[in-house]
A and B are shown apart, each in its own frame.
Chain A
């Protein structure tokens, strides 16, 4: 679907991309990773038509983007960028409706068909219930779902994601990527995601392209391209690759000399945090019965205990340091 051939591009006579070749098919999710300044965002800017290439070509289904105007581009490509700003006082529905803009003529207003498409997009992204909320009142995760819904409302063939989850918490990151992967499969979207989190990239992508110094240095399945020597060379940081316990996808763990944890630091074990009841019941980390006698729950938080006398010192992950 997307074919990038021998692409050279840059700003102010400085070339940032060198001889980039890339193909993405419908229903395929490609993650682009690489250190800061490696040209990932420049690549996205060229593919969206914001930046004109110095040499080489970008084509959608064989049509060169130089032969497409902005409106035609917007009907093929939708972008979900990191921390995209949304204008105040517009409702979520109105913002998703803006996704229909490339399908409308100058004087034309949105009609019944546009509502249907917007509704389907918002229901699919679980944002239909947010439709009358003003965008400035949405949480980060809700905003991102609204932006993904707007991208779907464009009815694109290619979805470009620029660090779409960098400001979301763990659960929302997983949700967003799961959603994008499902959409990729269901709607036969080609997806290109620029991702900083190597673990997330390896967890969801069908293919990973690693960029460094404006070139693509590796392109293949996560298992094939994520290896310790490549990552180390590209990022300049020693790493160890371990397989995910259930999916066996690679996880990148930095090998780094961390100073020992200060033994005098105080900690709250999870037991002492007033977790919601539903969480507590299924919490595998909570040793049953413990802590209840100390008056946990009802919002009461016991005094911080010195780490060494804490009851769950056996499991480092169960500790939240303050």
Chain B
């Protein structure tokens, strides 16, 4: 894949104004990214111990979505595609999109390249919630009525609210305090989980399994439960894309340019945390996606949040779908934890992009 060099802008040899970025001018980019994500999803469904031709996969999916008759398919293929792999791919795509989108939003608000969706305590809070249920008598190993996801969701939101409340000074929430209180809340949560794991050593494996995360228990129901939160976050946060650009200046300058920084912070962080909490509650803790996908998008398409937010969503989805395919197929006897795959695949690619970035300016322009 030939990536465009970062931000190669035309030299100012004519008198034209540079092209404007508008939602409409970006529509083709979004459409292409969406198509690419769909293609990745179809191939991911086809791929596995039983190989199904992509055109068959597509036909089955279209049949289920529209009810249209798309020819005869074996019941086995139908079950594998629609009942087993499709929910898994869809859930991986949703979670990947959410983590990357939220990561981009967090980085935008914190103006910190190391910000990621777990920085405000979502992950630690969700782990505490999930762990408390797993060690309690309520724990049902699996099934639709498992109380683990709602408990994780609640834990995540409580942790974020706690971090936000602790960072608050009057009616202002300084972003540095927010990061620090997030880190503090996270370490309290992590310590609690560690203690519970050791105290209830018969449940240690179950806890670890939940924390490592994955999509082997994916169902349409899980996807359906998480979807509304993710859609809500996307619909609420996207209009703030241009505002986030202005916030990259710094908070004082943004305020002087008419941005209500406190309101933007609470809305964007609140929505991103809500969606992340939903993602974590159905998939466990999957690291790295929320940190590196937005950076990859920025390196290729530049820093404008009207590009970064939606494209992070699409590429986060593709990234996690591919990572999940690798996780379930690379070792036929054992499913590799997906967090391991995201780090092993993502880190080298990220470093490659970073090295390209850091060439001296004379070489780049």
Which A residues fall within an 8 A CB radius of B? 48-50, 69-75, 77-79, 81, 84-91, 93-95, 97-99, 101-102, 104, 106-107, 109-111, 114-115, 118-119, 128-134, 137, 154
User: Chain A residues with Cβ under 8 A from B78's Cβ?
Assistant: none
Please tell me the number of chain B residues within 8 Å of chain A, measured between CB atoms: 37
Whether B255 sits at the interface, judged by CB under 8 Å, is: yes
Task: Check A85–B12 contact: CB distance below 8 A.
Answer: no
Question: In the complex, A50→B240 CA distance in Å?
Answer: 21
Chain A interface mostly helix, strand, loop or mixed? mixed
Chain B interface mostly helix, strand, loop or mixed? loop
A74-B253 contact in complex given A91-B9, A109-B23, C-beta closer than 8 Å: no
A85-B256 contact in complex given A90-B303, A132-B9, A132-B12, C-beta closer than 8 Å: no
A98-B10 contact in complex given A78-B256, A89-B298, A115-B17, C-beta closer than 8 Å: no
Task: Check B20–A84 contact: CB distance below 8 A.
Answer: no
Task: Check A107–B239 contact: CB distance below 8 A.
Answer: yes
Task: Give the residue name and chain of the B residue nearest to A79 (CB).
Answer: B256
Task: Give the residue name and chain of the A residue nearest to B9 (CB).
Answer: A132
Question: In the complex, A133→B12 CA distance in Å?
Answer: 9
Question: In the complex, A94→B17 CA distance in Å?
Answer: 11
Question: In the complex, A154→B11 CA distance in Å?
Answer: 26
Question: How many Å from the CB of B98 to the closest CB on chain A?
Answer: 22
User: Chain A residues with Cβ under 8 A from B252's Cβ?
Assistant: 50, 81
User: Chain B residues with Cβ under 8 A from A49's Cβ?
Assistant: 255
Task: Check A89–B249 contact: CB distance below 8 A.
Answer: no
Task: Check A101–B306 contact: CB distance below 8 A.
Answer: no
Question: In the complex, A107→B249 CA distance in Å?
Answer: 20
User: Chain A residues with Cβ under 8 A from B190's Cβ?
Assistant: none
Task: Check A101–B18 contact: CB distance below 8 A.
Answer: no
User: Chain A residues with Cβ under 8 A from B298's Cβ?
Assistant: 89
Whether B199 sits at the interface, judged by CB under 8 Å, is: no
Task: Check A87–B9 contact: CB distance below 8 A.
Answer: no
Q: Beyond A104-B242, A132-B10: 5 further Cβ-contacts under 8 Å?
A: A69-B260, A75-B258, A81-B252, A101-B243, A110-B21
Task: Check B17–A119 contact: CB distance below 8 A.
Answer: yes
The listed residue (A86, A102, A109, A137) touching B20 by CB distance below 8 A is A109
The listed residue (A78, A89, A119) touching B303 by CB distance below 8 A is A89
Whether B5 sits at the interface, judged by CB under 8 Å, is: no
